[in-house]
Amino acid sequence: MDESVRESSRAREENQTKLPKMAAKTALCQPYAKKLSLWSELRLELTFGLSLECGEVWRLMGFYGNPEERYREGLWELLKHLSHDQTVPWFVVGDFSEITNSFEKKGGRLRAERQMDAFHSTLEFCNLNDVGFIGRWFTWERGRFAHTNIRERLDRSVATLEWMNLFPSFQVEHLSHSFSDHCPLLLDTLRGMRNEKCNKENLFRFEAK
């Protein structure tokens, strides 16, 4: 693991009181798979391995991006490091604290191009594709008045093509909320289980809050 990843790890320790625990606060899992195994757990990353009745295995990762831009490079290096094991379909969801395009933000200061480019290139390096969604466009909002209101798409779901082929009719929904400045993301794989090997009894739902 290179120096930038080690620096990010130190940053996690320094800010541990500010960062939510993934398992306790940012994710609610309701698995209907044959087996759910915890593969790894860091302060900013939580990974499960899921085995389906049909024998397929896929990787679910919850990721939390540091809101401080100075630590972002280390986080992208961490994600790249974690991407090296792509032997199974991979799905990543969470608050990345970053956007990929300027139209994903409304209000406030313009995001620096280098920041968006760094995030976008990281996703490309990891072979992670934006999987789309239904529901509200922006996932984070601050400010009640028009002149102070800022909205951004900080939370997203990305996946490898192998995962998208495994669940060809999946759906990600941005839910309404009143308890947080971030909206929950709901992953529903029910429709994607309709193939010769798997059936709807293998439904898996994941909600990131």
Residue bearing tokens 């093509």: 161
- Give me the phi and psi of 155, to 5 degrees please: -100, 135
Sign for the pseudo-dihedral over CA of 73, 78, 81, 82: negative
Mean pLDDT lowest among 5-19, 32-46, 109-123, 126-140: 5-19
For the stretch 42-90, pLDDT in tens is 555 576 777 776 678 888 888 888 888 888 898 999 899 888 877 889 9
pLDDT band at residue 206 using 50, 70 and 90 as cut-offs: low
Count of CA atoms in the C-beta half-sphere (13 A) of 97? 15
Helix (H, G, I), strand (E, B) or coil at 194: coil
DSSP symbols for 155-191: EEEEE-HHHHHHSTT-EEEE---SSSSB--EEEE-TG
The separation between the first and the last C-alpha atoms of the chain, rounded to the nearest angstrom, is 30
Task: State how far the Cα of 59 lies from the Cα of 39, in Å rounded to an integer.
Answer: 9
For the stretch 2-13, pLDDT in tens is 554 444 444 434
Structural domains in the chain, CATH included, are: 3-7+30-208 (3.60.10.10)
Q: Which residue has the higher pLDDT, 158 or 26?
A: 158
